[in-house]
């Protein structure tokens, strides 16, 4: 299928639209493991493997930008064992996938407050961002220690500094957006949440103000590229008016 890129969607032959930017709340890893009598971290490891499959599938589905919610500011409330295990999974994933991301033309970036993450993980994140900075086939953004309210608070502080410095006199929405972690990223066209939960869980509240949403009962480790393709097909049937008639 041949795709023509638009400002916010990809348009296939015949006029079917596909979202250029898909954001995913990857939920259900722990439940998936519990249903099988396995430790929660087994589910998180399987979920990390699923990320790789979805990343590989996105370009052929017309998706240029993929943003995934890996660890929220609220996830620190989980057990110490689970949190430490997740951080280890993140480190291993970045180390293991760095070469493959580069070879496949994937640009990888991170959003969220990095200061609370351990130094080794921060260094790995910065390294893969630099290594993949020139790639253009797919833009992959991973939200780690991310919370939408936290991002808005930090962005507001940056904006206040610019106002105090005299750089801005009458702040606009664009000025605030430029201070956010996602500065320079297009807003998501479609947000997907797996596992049957129907909450947005503090994920991209500013950026997703006009996004379409899809809630699927499928647990993240079971979410295949075929599941994604069917959701993208349904997206093509929606009419997006952005407040217009």
Q: What is the CATH number of the domain that holds 216?
A: 3.40.1180.10
pLDDT at site 17: 85
Which of 138, 24, 132 is closest to 70 using CA atoms? 24
The answer to whether 188 and 163 are in contact (CB under 8 A) is: no
Residue 15 pLDDT level (bands cut at 50, 70, 90)? low
Classify residue 115: in a domain, yes or no. yes
Which residues does the annotation place in the binding site for Mg(2+)?
27, 212
For residue 3, the SS3 value is strand
For residue 142, the SS3 value is strand
Q: Which residue has the higher pLDDT, 18 or 238?
A: 18
Which of 68, 219, 202, 92 is closest to 148 using CA atoms? 202
Task: Give the residue numbers spanning the domain of 71.
Answer: 15-146+188-235
Q: Which residues are catalytic?
A: 27, 75
pLDDT tens, 75-87?
999 999 999 999 9
Phi and psi (nearest 5°) for 88?
-65, -40
Residue 10 pLDDT level (bands cut at 50, 70, 90)? low
Classify residue 111: in a domain, yes or no. yes
Q: How much is the CA Rg of the chain, to the nearest whole Å? A: 18
pLDDT at site 9: 56
Domain count, the chain: 1
pLDDT tens, 190-222?
999 999 999 999 999 999 999 999 999 999 999
Classify residue 107: in a domain, yes or no. yes
Classify residue 125: in a domain, yes or no. yes
pLDDT tens, 85-120?
999 999 999 999 888 888 899 999 999 999 999 999
Which residues does the annotation place in the binding site for substrate?
28-32, 40, 44, 72-74, 76, 78, 193, 199-201
Average pLDDT of the chain to the nearest whole number: 92
Classify residue 169: in a domain, yes or no. no
Classify residue 10: in a domain, yes or no. no
pLDDT at site 16: 64
**pTM of the entire predicted model:** 0.92
pLDDT tens, 129-166?
999 999 999 999 999 999 999 999 999 999 999 999 99
Classify residue 174: in a domain, yes or no. no
């Amino acid at each position: 299928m041949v795709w023509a890129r638009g400002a916010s969607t990809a348009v296939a032959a015949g006029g079917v639209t596909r979202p250029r930017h898909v954001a995913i709340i990857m939920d259900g890893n722990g439940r998936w493991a519990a249903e099988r009598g396995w430790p929660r971290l087994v589910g998180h490891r399987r979920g990390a493997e699923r990320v790789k499959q979805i990343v590989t599938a996105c370009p052929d589905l017309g998706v240029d930008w993929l943003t995934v919610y890996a660890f929220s500011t609220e996830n620190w409330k989980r057990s110490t064992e689970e949190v430490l295990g997740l951080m280890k999974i993140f480190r291993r994933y970045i180390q293991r996938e760095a070469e493959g991301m580069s070879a496949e033309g994937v640009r990888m970036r991170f959003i969220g407050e990095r200061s609370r993450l351990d130094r080794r993980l921060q260094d790995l994140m910065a390294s893969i961002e630099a290594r993949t900075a020139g790639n253009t086939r797919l833009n992959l953004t991973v939200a780690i220690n991310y919370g939408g309210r936290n991002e808005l608070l930090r962005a507001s502080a940056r904006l206040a500094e610019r106002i105090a410095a005299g750089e801005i006199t009458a702040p606009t929405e664009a000025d605030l957006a430029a201070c956010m972690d996602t500065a320079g990223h297009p807003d998501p066209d479609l947000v997907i949440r797996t596992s049957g939960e129907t909450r947005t869980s503090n994920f991209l509240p500013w950026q997703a103000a006009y996004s379409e949403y899809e809630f699927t009962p499928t647990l993240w480790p079971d979410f295949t590229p075929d599941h994604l393709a069917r959701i993208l097909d349904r997206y093509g049937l929606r009419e997006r008016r952005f407040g217009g008639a």
